[in-house]
Structure 1
Amino acid sequence: MTETVAEDYKYPTLTLSKQRKEKKEEKDEVQVLEQEGLEAITIRKRQDDEDASLELQTGERKTLVRPHALEAPDVVQLTSVLMNWINEVLADRRVIVRHIRDDLFDGQVLSELLEELASVKIEHQPYVGLSTQMQRLKLKAVLKEVSKILKTDNPKWSVDSIHSRDPIAILHLLVALARHFHCPYPLPHNVKLRAIEVTSDTTRIVHRDILEELTGEEVIPDEDGEWPSTEPDVFDTLFDSAPEKVETVKQSLVNFSDRHLTPLDLGIKNLEDDYQDGTRFIILMSALEGYFVPMCYYYPSPKTTKEMTENVQHAMKLMKEAGLKKTKAQAKEIVEKDPKAIMRLLYNVFHKYKNL
């Protein structure tokens, strides 16, 4: 009798516990919905506030950083690398950068950095008591010098964007300087910053989520520790100023290649495809220099990007041993079938052996 009562007593207890659990879950769901609603209102309000402060002209476009985007691990790593580089360069001047936006917006540190890196003197007023107008004048002088050094007027930064502490503009500027002056610390590859592109049309302001690319596949020194030149060469000029002549030059290089490779049943059908894996570069150099490269020294039929890259690097060593001048072409560009890089490297060979 006692056991029956005990068992009967458990059922309402379990039912009550289940009811409490369901009520708690419903309460939690309500709280989640309320929180999501508050966040949506907050985000919308922030966007409305930003829209009101932007004062965009019709057709104008601006990019805003998403909340917490600067806290992404790859962005933090990039920022850290750039700050460490700047602090190392300016160590003798006892300048320390602790915040990439607040310490660089007024042009003072940037002017010190350029003076140290490029041995230039930028005229500016003493920093103490510098007004906003004087900060902008200094920043204008600094960016003018940057344009001279980089040989470009880059639209990714301006006096307005840097002085307003725009992190996208500041990071683009620092990445460009780090590349040009060969920052000894490797920049993280393919860093993208989550941002919002804001465009104004005649009736409204339109928001669009974008990924702002800060770095791509970064240039690195070769095996000898030498950096590729950043100066424009004849192929930069050809592709930029006379693209209609590219095919003519390409055909000349195909004819040169065929003259030496067709007897080996390795004629060229497509310049980019046929030179991509590096084997024809190796065989071409061996044919021109009159030696045989054993197949154990390279991959006769490379399957992976790594194998192709090693083939191209080996071909570049053979070119160096033959006394050819170093070019801007990189092994990874050849493997990626970059027509300019392939023509640049092949023309270097053509220039020496064209009369053979």
Structure 2
Amino acid sequence: SLKDSKLEKLKEVLQDWINSTLKAEHIVVQSLDDDLYDGLVLHHLLASLAGVHLPLEEIALTSSAQIRKLEIVVEELDKRLGRRDPEWDGRGFHQRNLLATLHLLVAMVRHFQPELELPSDVKVQVALVEVSRRLGQGKALGRVLAHADVRALLGFVNTSVARLGLHVSDLDKQFSDGVILLLLIGQLEGFFIPLCDFSLTPVNHAQMRRNLFDCKEQVTHPVNFSCLDVVAQDVAATLKVLYALFNKHAKQKEKMAAQCD
């Protein structure tokens, strides 16, 4: 029933509604199935529609943080909507429960924008199955992804390098020559690396490895990773470096925020 025309139309209307609501914040949802699981979109919808600004981290990186964020946002939405659906829970949304997501979004539209016309008589046939998930890319990637969400890591990276006019969309390929990683470390650690000190446009693996070796030396608390693996576009090795950087600098920001409070 996922290919039902009425269901497809409902998803299209809800997606357009979200994008229209959050247009000023430059948030674009491309898939209801995949783009609402980390709490970012629902958090911004709550703020935009209800004027409720919860003191939550903008990007929740770990699965546990994402679930906790979803639970807080959904609890606040329950108060505004005056109802509670048993399927509305943080873990369910995080597991990409499309049916629960649709129920919540429809309830939000009817409460906050009742004039919006939604397709009627939409029916979804649900089959419960037990699925065994395999991450692929080997055990190393599995261990990294157990702690870090790739989409959230991309957000962390792009926020950090945006002032340099850079944007990353492909973690394994764009970090394989060490250039963006060096510039990212410079932004996070608070120093500038003279362009003459590294290969800005490396043309061979030797220059790429040298860049990555420099990355290791520049980090205050060195991260143990294989330069060869990153050059070979091993996504697990790249994620390991990025997660270590995030973990270090996110904790520093949390400590500074606590001191200010």
Q: Give TM-score scaled by structure 2 length.
A: 0.47
Larger Rg over CA atoms: 1
Q: TM-score, normalised by structure 1?
A: 0.35
